């Protein structure tokens, strides 16, 4: 049912045939690239604005406050108003800053998150890129961000920015190991890096259920390490307001500051999407054994809805981390990675290899 009724590849192929028949292969490909690029830019901006509003609401709920409630009904236009304010604010020129690197740094960060965003499979046939090295591509694209962070901190000619950038660099490089090993653990189970194939393998059950203990451990580690890699609380030492003002983007204003702000939320969305794809079946519906009636009803829910519900559930958990636990010290943060997460990850990797080798998985 899911594959027949909600296959978006039928729509995309019909659009492609129409453009080719009227404009020729070369011009049709150019038009498609432009249309997909504009569409993804719009989705990218809208998702970012929505996540900012959602976090403000969730934070207010946890702290027994109201949150945004003035601009628009229930404050839904507050984030849009803030975005317009940032667009109109002056870009302040910093004395003795490296002007080129200071200007380039936010674009490097936003490009890295946008490249990773382009490979997310929202539904069957509904993704811009589906390379056979999809997971590797996402890891490589998101790793670009640390370069922008280090450049932003160094080029700002500010001790607060430099300290924040060095903290962030050490944190991201450290926790990338655990994120990578958690993903590699699941690659051993699936035998592929292509995201669409990984989702198809979960048609008869999500990996969080049929991947045994190593899959559950990998899911937990990915959430913890991914939260740290995106510089979110309680791992937000790089942006410790009481110590470093705003960390590596202290000296930025206007649209450049908005880029840093938006990239953080989009990296969180990419993290939640990867977790959903690897462990929660991506766009696949929830099926329970031989309960045909229940499974049939679940099949009627569009895959895009399934995917977004799972992603925002994971995002809600990540937001709970920030607003529930106190900020860690830098020694606690690095000890958690090198003394606990990394050894557990290495053991988990070996355990998954044994399970796959002996054929013990479901």
Q: What is the pLDDT of residue 29?
A: 86
> Using an 8 Å Cβ cutoff, are 98 and 152 in contact?
no
Residue 240's pLDDT is what?
63
pLDDT given for residue 1 in this prediction = 42
Q: Cβ distance 337 to 178 under 8 Å?
A: yes
Coil, helix or strand for 331? helix
Give burial (CB, 10 Å; 0-12/13-18/19+) of 213. exposed
172 close to 147: Cβ distance less than 8 angstroms: no
Interatomic CA distance for residues 57 and 91, integer angstroms: 29
DSSP assigned state of 337: I
> Which residue, 182, 225, 227, 228, is CA-closest to 207?
182
Return d(Cα 115, Cα 193) in angstroms, integer: 17
List Cα–Cα distances, 175 to 106, 221, 235, 257, 267, in angstroms: 22, 10, 11, 25, 14
What is 218-235 written as a DSSP string? Answer: HHHHHHHHHHHHTT-TTS
Spans of the chain below 70 pLDDT: 1-5, 238-246, 361-362
Query: Which H or E element spans position 1?
Result: none
Whether the CA torsion 276, 281, 283, 285 is positive or negative: it is negative
**H runs (alpha helix) in 233-329:** 241-244, 254-279, 292-300, 303-324
pLDDT value, residue 350: 94
- For 127-131, the CB contacts below 8 A with 24+ separation are 127/195, 127/196, 128/36, 128/40, 130/194, 130/195, 130/196, 131/194
Asked whether 284 and 305 are in contact (CB, 8 A), the reply is: no
| Helix H or strand E encompassing 200 | helix 195-200
Q: pTM of the predicted model, to two decimals? A: 0.90
Q: Residue-wise over 245-263: b if at least 16 C-beta within 10 A, else e? A: ebbbbbbbbeebbbbbbbb
Q: Which two tokens stand for residue 68?
A: 């945004």
């Amino acid at each position: 049912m899911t594959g027949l009724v909600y296959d978006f590849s039928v729509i995309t192929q019909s659009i492609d045939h129409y453009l080719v028949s009227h404009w020729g292969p070369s011009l049709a490909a150019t038009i498609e690239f432009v249309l997909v690029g504009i569409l993804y830019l719009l989705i990218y901006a809208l998702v970012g604005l929505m996540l900012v509003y959602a976090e403000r609401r969730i934070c207010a709920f946890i702290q027994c406050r109201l949150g945004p409630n003035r601009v628009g009904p229930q404050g839904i236009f507050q984030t849009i108003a803030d975005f317009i304010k940032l667009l109109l604010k002056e870009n302040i020129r910093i004395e003795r800053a490296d002007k080129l690197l200071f200007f380039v740094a936010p674009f490097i960060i936003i490009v890295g998150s946008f490249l990773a965003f382009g490979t997310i499979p929202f539904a069957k046939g509904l993704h811009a890129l589906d390379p056979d090295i999809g997971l590797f591509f996402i890891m490589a694209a998101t790793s670009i961000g640390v370069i922008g962070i280090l450049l932003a901190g160094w080029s700002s000619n500010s001790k607060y920015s430099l300290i924040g950038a060095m903290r962030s660099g050490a944190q991201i490089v450290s926790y990338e190991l655990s994120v990578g090993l958690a993903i590699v653990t699941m690659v051993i189970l699936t035998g592929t890096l292509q995201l669409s194939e990984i989702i198809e393998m979960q048609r008869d059950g999500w990996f969080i259920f049929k991947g045994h203990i190593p899959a559950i451990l990998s899911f937990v580690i990915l959430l913890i390490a991914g939260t740290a890699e995106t510089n979110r609380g309680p791992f937000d030492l790089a942006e410790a307001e009481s110590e470093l003002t705003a960390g590596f983007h202290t000296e930025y204003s206007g649209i450049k500051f908005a880029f840093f702000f938006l990239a953080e939320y989009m990296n969180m969305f990419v993290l939640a999407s990867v977790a959903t794809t690897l462990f929660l079946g991506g766009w696949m519906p929830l099926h329970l054994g031989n309960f045909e009636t229940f499974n049939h009803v679940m099949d009627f829910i569009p895959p895009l809805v399934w995917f977004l519900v799972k992603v925002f559930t994971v995002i809600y958990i990540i937001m709970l981390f920030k607003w529930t636990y106190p900020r860690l010290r830098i020694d606690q943060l690095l000890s958690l990675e090198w003394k606990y997460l990394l050894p557990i990850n290495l053991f988990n990797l070996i355990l998954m290899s044994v399970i796959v080798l002996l054929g013990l998985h479901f």
